[in-house]
Amino acid sequence: MHKSEPLIFDIAKGSFVDGPGIRTTIFFKGCPLDCPWCHNPESKSYESETMFYPENCIECGNCKVGRKCFALARRTVGKHFSPEHLGEVILQDKSYYETSGGGVTFSGGEPLSFIDYLSQVALILKEQDIHIAIQTSGHFNYRDFALKVLPYTDTIYYDFKIMDNATHKLHLGISNSIIIANFIQLQKQDITLIPRIPLIPHYVANQNNLSSIATFFAEQNVQNCEFIYYNPSAQGKVSRLDRGMVECVSVGSVSVEGNRRWVDYFKGRVRFSKSNLAEPKNDNSCACVHTRSAE
């Protein structure tokens, strides 16, 4: 959607989140949304960036003459991988995926900004029967996705943040019309679709917004969802980038009890016939709500 060749800013091996089993999570750089609370602010720009770690600086002067920083005080964020190379990196842990029922999760940023590239990687992985999950903001070209990536995809984690379109534009920079339309289309597909709601204080976690999301979920007969608890650790990353973060870096944190109250409020609005709420372990955990038992 944005560029044909993405930058990868992180590869997390041995992950136990964002999908079943042991996983490798690939973080794509660049996102069409501008969430002020973003947990990975280094993922926002589609361009390569530098992060500065002053605690590592030995004042050698290499950076002033364009030389490599051996102390790792200055680190480049974003690296190119060919589809073949990225496929090789992911398949290095194939034995772990097979024994645990795991696989790969494409995250970001927005991985579906790079549909052509992603389809090439997905084809390589599906030839080896690797489980593929995608974590998305929902803002992507649905027609291209349906033709090129959906056939290889097993699970989609789909973010829902702000339902009111004007408020969405105000805080995230773009309309949510594509996000909502794409979700409605995906609901019709034979795929595991898991909507996620990040409980960002004030912006997402407020009565009007959660009520609107609950109403939409009820209309669409949504069968499950997950809540992501706000993690304020992004503030430390922002200070290392050569650009600022607006608004919401200091919204503070919410207690486990506070998060559970919002989850209970949401459940009351959707009136799930059956629910199962996972006990949170920390501020970055998920609380899962299922609307009915598995058949």
User: Looking at residue 207, what DSSP letter applies?
Assistant: H
Mean pLDDT across 190-208: 93
What are the pLDDT digits (tens) for 134-146? 999 999 999 999 9
Long-range contacts of 46-50 (CB under 8 A, 24+ apart): 46/2, 46/3, 46/6, 46/7, 46/113, 47/7, 47/78, 48/7, 48/76, 48/77, 48/78, 49/76, 49/77, 49/78, 49/241, 49/242, 49/243, 50/74, 50/75, 50/76, 50/77, 50/241, 50/242
Q: Is the pLDDT of residue 164 over 90?
A: yes
What is the structure's pLDDT at 206? 93
Compute the distance between CA of residue 202 and CA of residue 80 in angstroms, rounded to an integer: 37
Token code pair at residue 190: 């034979």
Q: Is the pLDDT of residue 195 over 80?
A: yes
Mean pLDDT across 149-170: 97
What is the structure's pLDDT at 248? 41
Q: How confident is the model at residue 54 (pLDDT cuts 50, 70, 90)?
A: confident
The number of beta carbons lying within 10 Å of the beta carbon of residue 78 is 22
What is the structure's pLDDT at 230? 81
Phi then psi for 77, rounded to 5 degrees?
-105, 115
Cβ atoms of 121 and 83 within 8 Å: the answer is yes
Q: Is the pLDDT of residue 184 over 70?
A: yes
Phi then psi for 217, rounded to 5 degrees?
-60, -40
Q: How confident is the model at residue 235 (pLDDT cuts 50, 70, 90)?
A: low
Q: Set out the domains of the chain in order of their start, with CATH numbers.
A: 8-290 (3.20.20.70)
Q: How confident is the model at residue 234 (pLDDT cuts 50, 70, 90)?
A: low
Nearest to 1 by CA among 119, 141, 150: 141
What is the structure's pLDDT at 46? 92
Q: Is the pLDDT of residue 78 over 70?
A: yes
Q: How confident is the model at residue 3 (pLDDT cuts 50, 70, 90)?
A: low
Which helix (H) or strand (E) segment holds residue 33: the answer is none
What is the structure's pLDDT at 85? 98
Compute the distance between CA of residue 213 and CA of residue 205 in angstroms, rounded to an integer: 11
Cβ atoms of 214 and 177 within 8 Å: the answer is no
Residue 128 DSSP SS3? coil
Alpha helical stretches, state H, the chain: 83-91, 94-100, 115-126, 142-148, 165-172, 177-186, 207-219, 234-238, 256-270
- Residue 20 amino acid letter: P
Q: Is the pLDDT of residue 158 over 80?
A: yes
